[in-house]
Amino acid sequence: MHKTDPRPVHSYYEHSRNRKIGTPALEHDSTFEVVVVGGGLSGCSTALHLAEQGVKVAVLEARHFGWGASGRSGGQIINGFACGQDTLEKLLGLETARQLWDHSVKSVEYTRKLVDRHRIDCDLTMGYMHLAEKRRQVTELEETAADLADKYGYHRMALHGRSGLGTWLGSDLYAAGLSDSGSGHLHPLNYCLGIAAAAKKAGARLFQHSPVTAVESSGGRTTVTCNGVRIHCDTVVYGCNAYLDGLAKEISGTIMPVGTYIIATEPLTEEIALELIPSRAAMADLNFILDYYRLSADHRMLFGGRVSYSTFEPLRLTGSLNRRMLRVFPRLSGTKIEFSWGGYVAITRNRAPHVGRLQNGNWFVQGYSGHGMALAGYMGKIIARAVMGDTDEFDCFAGIPHKHFPGGRWLRMPGLVAAMGYYKLRDRF
């Protein structure tokens, strides 16, 4: 899987997608108020919220809707941020860190609202658990639960020792788990396609097979080039995330594409599936290179993990993920793996999302750092409001400071690969 690999994605999600968004490629010069680049959750949700306000908006997607991370993801809708609240506290102080935490909690609630309002069939299931294997991780869970309750007023978490884990998870691997009734999981591709369909219904024009190759702004007007035609608009919103490449040079240096991978087993019997995860909650451990897994609606085990800091797929990926899955669930030995796929997340240096406005007036949202499933749909609403002139919520996110990765596009990779070696070692102890 290379970032520009045009082949269809061999994922369980493509296999179980419940709709196709039949849209044309852009073929004629045209004019819109807003052009959104990227047909993932960020882009589709921005378009939905703008179209609902009567804005003439188009979404240009290089391949098809949900082709990027949004249609390949683990599907875990989790509150909080990849960087953790302590990073936000250090960067912005407790008050702003609290506001951001509240936004993250709202992002999960808002996902539920969108699913409900637009009747999106995407297997939404609430329940989540953070898992600790090692003693130091148990302490981390205890501290997290206490901090979130005391400092952030969040009381939807409960700590479970080894003996209390059985009703949640059928694995002997873990020493403790922290459950969270405010997070959950869904079928990410069907969710994204549902948002795209809602945007279309609200009046947004959607175009697939429409890669944007240039954006030029001057004198308050912007021209977008795509498929050899030109679109004139007032403003552009970039929702390209890890697939941005060099399209907007001002923001490409703050993100790094990182590959992450998932396997899906054949369907298990309901009885076996519920022995493995009786709670049906989504699970993730606390390792830096984490394992994340959950059951699909048709009782497959979807098991994700492994990362690649080069833009090439690691060799023997399926076997390696299968071994990690068997470490958690030895009884899945001999179970067929029917799908394996990967995609790119965009990480930032501090692992906080990067949201902002460029000097030429165009907007962007990116860098969820593997934590964008609930946030991207919510950010669409916030960006749309900002484009319409209400920047209160936008400013809260745009205030997070970001630095460029050192080195050019290629030089920054070896540094990260070296860092990964360190974290892999740390995960062992």
Ligand X SMILES: Cc1cc2nc3c(=O)[nH]c(=O)nc-3n(C[C@H](O)[C@H](O)[C@H](O)COP(=O)(O)OP(=O)(O)OC[C@H]3O[C@@H](n4cnc5c(N)ncnc54)[C@H](O)[C@@H]3O)c2cc1C
- Give the interface with ligand X as residue ranges (CB under 6 A): 37-43, 60-63, 67-70, 72-76, 78, 211-212, 239-244, 247, 260, 262, 292, 304, 342-345, 368, 370-373, 376
Nearest CB to ligand X, comparing residues 138 and 242: 242
Query: Which three-class secondary structure state does DSSP give residue 375?
Result: helix
Coil, strand or helix at 385: helix
Shortest distance in whole angstroms from residue 291 CB to ligand X = 12
Min. distance of Cβ 191 from ligand X in angstroms?
A: 10
- What residue type is 215 in one-letter code? V
- Quick one: 170 or 353, whose CB is closer to ligand X? 353
Least distance in angstroms from the C-beta of 376 to ligand X: 4
Tally Cβ neighbours within 10 Å of residue 402. 18
CB neighbour list of residue 235: distance below 8 Å, 6 or more residues apart: 33, 34, 35, 222, 361, 362, 363, 387
CA distances (Å), origin 388, targets 49, 235, 366: 10, 11, 20
Amino acid sitting at position 241: N
Q: Which tokens belong to 81?
A: 């941020």
- Looking at the Cβ atoms of 275 and 310, the one nearer to ligand X is 310
Q: Which is nearer to ligand X, 72 or 299 (CB)?
A: 72
Nearest distance, CB of residue 18 and ligand X, angstroms: 18
Beta-bridged to residue 34, according to DSSP, are 57, 235
| Residue (of 82, 112, 300) closest to 191 by Cα position | 112
Cα–Cα dist 356/115, whole Å = 27
For residues 40 and 66, is the Cβ–Cβ distance under 8 A?
yes
Smallest distance from ligand X to CB 254, Å: 14
User: Shortest gap between Cβ of 92 and ligand X (angstroms)?
Assistant: 21
